[in-house]
Amino acid sequence: MTPNYLHRWIDGSTMDMPVGKVVCVGRNYAEHARELGNEVPEQPLLFMKPASALVSLHEPVVLPKGQGEVHHEVEMVVMVGKTLSGETDPDRVRYAIAAYGVGLDLTLRDLQSTLKAKGHPWERAKAFDGAAPVSGFVDARGISVRQNLEVSLEINGETRQHGHTGQMLFPTFELIAHISQTFRLDPGDLIFTGTPSGVAALNTGDQLTARLGNIVQVFSEIA
């Protein structure tokens, strides 16, 4: 993570929560899987980003240089508030969630395509420094993701991505329970829950507006 990255509430105040790992879910929206020519998965497709990938989405986003196109993938981000390990009850997961936010799973798409073609892991394309810009967070109490929250991204005033959490192949609480079967989730860990269709390249000077329902709205830019 960048030296000054800390989890923060949406008002900018610091959260009393450690910065942990980032667990990401691939192809959790069927249309996104199809737009990249991928099969729709039968179980969650999981990968990881280190804490060093985290930066604030409230600051200008710096893209890697000379590594091909960097694509945006806007996602609902869930912060874990209580340890979950081998959990099977989605209702217990609900009460272990501390907060919700919105983030970008930045992807070096050209590099990812090359790695996939060779059967190699994706980390170089997904886990680089700054690959996980994330908003401030909103307290989970009083928020229900079963309300079918909107997840959207505008670039230069044009809607690029738009979906709803109700379109996710694996619903939030069930998804997190599944993740905990493989990875112990600790307070401060983040889960990027998947992106709707419409991913595309970012360019220097782009103006971004990322939204999660009516609870989080973030304005940013590409430096």
Q: Cα Rg for the chain, rounded, in angstroms? A: 16
pLDDT for residue 37: 73
Which phi and psi angles does 142 have, rounded to 5°? 90, 0
- The burial of 153, by beta-carbon neighbours within 10 Å (0-12 exposed, 13-18 middle, 19 or more buried), is given as buried
pTM of this prediction? 0.95
- Give the 3-state secondary structure of residue 199: coil
Contacts of 66 (CB under 8 A, 6+ apart): none
- Tokens read off for 125: 């394309």
Amino acid at 111: L
Contacts of 93 (CB under 8 A, 6+ apart): 84, 87, 173, 174, 176, 177, 180
As averages over each run of 10 residues, the pLDDT of the chain (223 residues) reads 84 97 93 74 91 97 95 97 96 95 97 92 94 97 84 97 94 96 97 95 98 96 96
Q: Give the Cβ contact number of residue 73 at 10 Å.
A: 24
190 token code pair: 């983040």
Residues 197 and 28: their CA atoms lie apart, in Å, by 10
Predicted pLDDT at 24 = 97
State the pLDDT at residue 30. 80
Structure tokens that stand for 91 in this block: 């209702």
| pLDDT at residue number 17 | 97
Q: Which residues pair with 25 in a beta bridge?
A: 46
Q: What local confidence, expressed as pLDDT, does residue 144 receive?
A: 81
Strand 138-139 and strand 132-134: the pairing is: unpaired
DSSP state of 87: -
**All domains of the chain, ordered by start, with CATH?**
22-221 (3.90.850.10)
